[in-house]
A = this chain, B = another copy of it.
Amino acid sequence: MSHANISIAVQPEPFDTGEMYHQLSQCTPSPGAVVTFTGLVRDLDNDKNIIALELEHYPGMTEKSLQTIAQQAASKWPIQAISLVHRIGRLEAGHPIVAVGVASAHRVAAFNACEFIMDYLKNDAPFWKKEIRTDGEQWVASKQSDVAAKHRWQD
């Protein structure tokens, strides 16, 4: 059983990865390494018809799924704390969608856990993106590269 401090949030409100970093860096005892990943809505310049993204999820399952993924990471590597926040609802270009932060005594553990969580989240956490376009709405297709990214942890 891992003793990592795990914090999960699924929310329509904006969040700040800078603030997440500050909290993780103030863990006790002081961690040697803090890694944060932030996924943002990319500039939609290459398709001017896209106005925003809409994030749907499966309430109840989403939180359980993220908790399970974070616990798996904490059982694979020596981790002090994990923070994970994912937005739902409407998001404009440049806005953060997801942030994962990991505090550990060691940098390799912090990097691995952070990447592992993102790779599993992309494949297993029940979120769906829809493009809101000037010419209608379009569900985003899943990517084969995300499936491959998850599989590299399973050897």
Known: A35-B36, A36-B35, A111-B115. A30 touches B22 (CB 8 A): no
Q: Which residues of B contact A26 (CB under 8 A)?
A: 94
A37 touching B35 by the CB < 8 A rule? Answer: yes
Instruction: Give chain B nearest CB distance to A31 CB in angstroms.
Output: 6
B111 touching A30 by the CB < 8 A rule? Answer: no
* Identical subunits present: 2
Q: Which residues of B contact A34 (CB under 8 A)?
A: 17, 36-38, 40
Report the Cα distance A110→B43, complex, angstroms: 17
Report the Cα distance A108→B29, complex, angstroms: 30
The answer to whether A9 has its CB under 8 Å from any CB of chain B is no
Task: Report A90-147 residues with CB < 8 Å from chain B CB.
Answer: 93-94, 96, 105, 107-108, 110-111, 114-115, 118, 145
Q: Which residues of B contact A96 (CB under 8 A)?
A: 25
The answer to whether A154 has its CB under 8 Å from any CB of chain B is no
Closest 8 pairs (CB-CB, A-B): A18-B18, A29-B43, A30-B94, A30-B43, A32-B42, A34-B38, A36-B36, A18-B21
